[in-house]
Amino acid sequence: MSRPSRALIDVQALRRNYRLARELHGGRALAVLKANAYGHGAVACARALESAADGFAVAFLDEAIQLRHAGIGGPILVLEGCFTRAELVEAHAHHCWVAVHQEEQLSALEQAPSQIQGIHAWLKFDSGMRRAGFPLTQAKALAQRLQSCEAVSRMTLMTHFARADEPESQATTRQIAAFDSATAGISAERSLANSAGLLAWPAARRDWSRPGILLYGADPLPGNPSALSPVMTLESEVFAVRELEEGDALGYGAHYVAATRRRIGLVAIGYADGYPRTVPPGTPVMAGTHRAQIVGRVSMDMLTIDLTDFPSEGVGSKVELWGRNIPVNDVASAVGTIGYELLCHVQRVPRIYDNASATT
């Protein structure tokens, strides 16, 4: 019998989330597929969205080339830009759009070989995140330099928000105002909104948005009642049942000691599959139709849940670790991280897509 752990990917939910993002934004939206589509499978997600998406965005060039080799033909923006001049040539050969956020990248475009033509460059400014991006004080001069490049046929101005997932903070308002003031009068399209910016900051909705985590159904706004549909269901099955007597210790380090007689289910999934080892006791899972709890430590290949109150559940019962019933953000909150990290860490388990028999 094959191991029952798997990540079920609902591509219809992915499409719904993209449509919601695009309708809410009102302009065009680049579907962000970096980090293997946040653990969901970049090629499969690109194929699912290709007929609807205005384009895609990835972190670095190798991710873009993977999509091109898979036959994805739409626009692809490389968010980190090119690390070398040789990469710029490669990006051009694969018809990629490139971000430009530091002097070396701008100089590479200015000195590009004559055969490089028609690049869509995204000029990135630091409006307050203090990470990648040119100073806003140089906006007009840099835009003029980029527009003068023979290699560049089109320019979009962009920035990135540091605290868009904090609706009560005024930091995003200040970033928007600083960006608008510094870029006023520059003839170019704009892109400001990431997922949280798109959802929480209407003033950030411009020509292009860049939805990432929201596409996969994990709301970036804490406690937000969400219309998003979870795309990944991480699940496995109970493969054995053990009876513990009062005082019996369970698992590594005797981390759990039964206070009364307990019935424990062993589930075929662990931290080597991407489920976090550090979840506290009581973290919920769905065992069949019942909301059960994890007990003991998560091991590399398995974890243990308390089935004492659910006699109908046992060997063969499906166990959802996160998905439609257990939000990934709830699990992330329990271990002091974010849903992004948990989704990106899913590995070793097959991904099964609801519109095809193929798995990855």
pLDDT of residue 360: 61
Average pLDDT for 220-239 = 91
Provide the total of helices (H) and of strands (E) in the chain, helices listed first: 11, 19
Out of 18, 38, 140, 252, which one is annotated catalytic?
Answer: 252
pLDDT in tens, 25-67: 998 999 999 999 999 999 999 999 999 999 999 999 999 999 9
b/e burial code for range 140-166 (CB count within 10 A of at least 16 → b): eebbebbbebebbeebbbbbbbbbbbe
pLDDT of residue 357: 40
Q: Is 252 a catalytic residue?
A: yes
Q: In the structure, what pLDDT confidence band is assigned to residue 223 with cuts at 50, 70 and 90?
A: confident
Q: How far apart are CA 121 and CA 118, in angstroms?
A: 9
Question: What's the half-sphere exposure (Cβ side, CA atoms, 13 Å) at 112?
Answer: 26
Q: In the structure, what pLDDT confidence band is assigned to residue 188 with cuts at 50, 70 and 90?
A: very high
**Tokens 């928000």 sit at which residue?**
161
How open is the CA angle 332-269-284, to the nearest 5 degrees?
45
Out of 34, 271, 275, 353, which one is annotated catalytic?
Answer: 34
Q: In the structure, what pLDDT confidence band is assigned to residue 154 with cuts at 50, 70 and 90?
A: very high
Domains of the chain, earliest start first: 11-216 (3.20.20.10), 232-353 (2.40.37.10)
Q: What is the DSSP letter of 359?
A: B
pLDDT of residue 270: 98
Q: In the structure, what pLDDT confidence band is assigned to residue 224 with cuts at 50, 70 and 90?
A: confident
Q: How far apart are CA 152 and CA 75, in angstroms?
A: 15
Predicted structure pTM score: 0.94
